[in-house]
Structure 1
Amino acid sequence: MPVWPLTVWTVLAGVLGLLVGSFLNVVILRLPVRLEALWRREASDVLGLEAASEPLPPGIVRESSHCPHCKHPLAAYDNIPLFSWLLLRGRCRYCKASISIQYPLVELTAGVLSAIVVCKFGPGWAALAGLFLTWALVALSGIDLRTQLLPDQITLPLLWAGLLLSLGHFFVDPKLSIIGAAIGYLSLWSVYWLFKLLTGKEGMGFGDFKLLAALGAWMGPLALLPIILLSSFIGALVGGTMIALRKHGRDVPMPFGPFIAMAGWVWFIAGDELWHAYMSVTGLR
């Protein structure tokens, strides 16, 4: 790679993150709808029912972007990450319908987090791996917030990527990666079944198990307890605030995947620093 200052690499990573964030919006919006349509077709085949005649929703790559309200195709200058939304003042150029705040938020989040990853690891393979993890976590969080789904199409490649990267000793060695994946899955699996046996209700989805297993594969078993504690704290803080502001009912399920993703990313970036700070504060060093 060219010998450029870290500041240049960080800025380039931020710009790349904005561009990828635009694509992540497409994934967040289209993948769940596409999967649900495919599931209905598969269910009809298994049950021997007449297949639904409805066309499949747009795919992720081939179909061009369009306004969800008037269906007008968007020009390239309408798809500039973050800036198009600002220039258009959050409204479609053609029908003037409001454009969801999700679009710039996802793009900005991907851009900022990408810059932080490269600033942390510097230019190299570790940073590329970190960018892949970051983008996957952003996509999973967006999908879970909208649909309460964590698709296998993202969680399982993330899990396998963590295991394969351990062969190169990028973040942990293979032994710790395998143990982390197993403990990550089984820990939430056990909580799920214990909660279901005690209450007769499902407290979380199977996607949460796979997501924590993937984070265990990337960071090893020692990262799992901090991730669970941090995600629980974030979830309680956000959930309590939303209930207090009457933005969310007490009996309405809240997706836990985004909190696991946030906690996992924070520990991936600053786990060592947080651990040393904890040891220093508690006097255990």
Structure 2
Amino acid sequence: MPELPLSVWIALAAVLGLLVGSFLNVVILRLPERMAASWRREAREVLEMQADDAPLPPGIVREPSHCPHCKHPLSAADNIPLFGWLLLRGRCRYCKVKISIQYPLVELFSGVLSALVVWKFGPSWVALAGLVLTWVLIAAAGIDFRTQLLPDQLTLPLLWLGMLLSLIPMFAGAPSAIIGAAIGYLSLWSVYWVFKLLTGKEGMGHGDFKLLAALGAWMGPVALLPVILLSSLIGALVGGSLIALRKHEREIPMPFGPFIAAAGWVWFMAGPQLLQGYMHFTGLR
């Protein structure tokens, strides 16, 4: 059987990314709701209140896709990633309510980034690991952007997967992964407590510590400073633009997780090239 050319693998990765992106939309929308319902039940148990008999929100896997507004199940054609939204012209087929632009954007991001991963690493186990990292970062960023939550259900498995991959090693060796995870967590943890002691406010969530720790486990401690600097730069540009356009009030906190995820993915894909370009630009080389 002849080997497939790289272009075919890239196209297959793009299609797979679109399909996974459709599932990531479900995760982004349903996981926070399930978490909140679970927290409410646990709180009632701790407070010894009467149990809440209300049904849990739809699960991530079993319940079929439906319109969030009218609850009508979606047809197979409506569920086609990206193209379903375009065919429906951004509105529900049944109640005509506008469908969030999040759906096609997440699918498009997933498809494009998946294709770039396979273009970078080729058809290999490294590419498969990179795809998993990419998809988890998209889901984590989407949830944090919507709810300012970074679920342990995403960050901790990503951390442990990075640790396990270090045993091969695939991206970073075991000592480097352990040190990267520890420094990644402690660095933002320290910033959090210094800021809280000085201002009495919380500057970031605990999920940010775990996400940076996960990236440290995948790429080692050398990647952490560039990721923090890149995420701060991206956050400043995006936040400044939103404030300038008056689409975001200064007093409203902005999640930092999406910027950490974006910077981590960029460094994962092009860290050595970016470092080489920086050294050449600054004359350090």
Task: Pick the TM interval, shorter chain.
Answer: over 0.9
Q: Residue 78 of structure 2 aligns with which residue? A: 78
Q: 1:123 to 1:2 in 2, by over 3 A?
A: farther
Q: Residue 123 of structure 1 aligns with which residue? A: 123
Q: Determine the C-alpha separation between the residues in 2 that align with 1:214 and 1:2.
A: 38
Pick which of 37-46 and 19-28 moved more: 37-46
Query: Which amino acid counterpart does residue 116 of structure 2 have in structure 1?
Result: I
Query: Which amino acid counterpart does residue 97 of structure 1 have in structure 2?
Result: V
1:48 aligns with 2:48: yes
Q: What is the CA deviation profile of residues 141-198 of structure 1, one whole-angstrom value per residue up to 9, with x for unaligned ones?
A: 1000110000000000000000000101111100100000000000000000000000
* Deviation of 1:232 (Å): 0.2
Q: Residue 89 of structure 2 aligns with which residue? A: 89
* Deviation of 1:2 (Å): 6.5
Q: Residue 282 of structure 1 aligns with which residue? A: 282
Count of matched residue pairs: 285
1:249 aligns with 2:249: yes
Q: Residue 215 of structure 1 aligns with which residue? A: 215
* Deviation of 1:101 (Å): 0.4
Query: Which amino acid counterpart does residue 226 of structure 2 have in structure 1?
Result: P
Structure 2 unmatched runs, 5+: none
Alignment of 1:224-243 (within 5 A): 224-243=224-243
TM-score, normalised via structure 2 length = 0.99
Q: Determine the C-alpha separation between the residues in 1 that align with 2:176 and 2:7.
A: 33
Q: Determine the C-alpha separation between the residues in 2 that align with 1:218 and 1:204.
A: 22
* Deviation of 1:36 (Å): 0.4
Q: What is the CA deviation profile of residues 54-76 of structure 1, one whole-angstrom value per residue up to 9, with x for unaligned ones?
A: 11000000000011111111111
Q: 1:133 to 1:187 in 2, by over 3 A?
A: same
* Deviation of 1:94 (Å): 1.1
List, as ranges, runs of 4+ consecutive aligned residues in structure 1 with deviation greater than 4 Å: none
* Deviation of 1:110 (Å): 0.3
* Deviation of 1:96 (Å): 1.1
Q: Residue 154 of structure 2 aligns with which residue? A: 154
* 3-state DSSP of counterpart to 2:127: helix
* Deviation of 1:280 (Å): 1.2
Q: What is the CA deviation profile of residues 18-39 of structure 1, one whole-angstrom value per residue up to 9, with x for unaligned ones?
A: 0000000000000000110001
* 3-state DSSP of counterpart to 2:172: coil
* 3-state DSSP of counterpart to 1:234: helix
RMSD: 0.9
Q: Residue 4 of structure 2 aligns with which residue? A: 4
* 3-state DSSP of counterpart to 2:239: helix
Q: Determine the C-alpha separation between the residues in 1 that align with 2:3 and 2:208.
A: 40
* 3-state DSSP of counterpart to 1:76: coil
Alignment of 1:250-265 (within 5 A): 250-265=250-265
Query: Which amino acid counterpart does residue 128 of structure 1 have in structure 2?
Result: L
Q: Determine the C-alpha separation between the residues in 2 that align with 1:154 and 1:121.
A: 24
Q: Residue 200 of structure 2 aligns with which residue? A: 200
Q: Determine the C-alpha separation between the residues in 2 that align with 1:272 and 1:3.
A: 29
Query: Which amino acid counterpart does residue 62 of structure 1 have in structure 2?
Result: R
| Percent identity of equivalent pairs | 76
Q: Determine the C-alpha separation between the residues in 2 that align with 1:65 and 1:126.
A: 32
Q: Determine the C-alpha separation between the residues in 1 that align with 2:99 and 2:152.
A: 29
Q: Residue 179 of structure 2 aligns with which residue? A: 179
TM-score, normalised via structure 1 length = 0.99
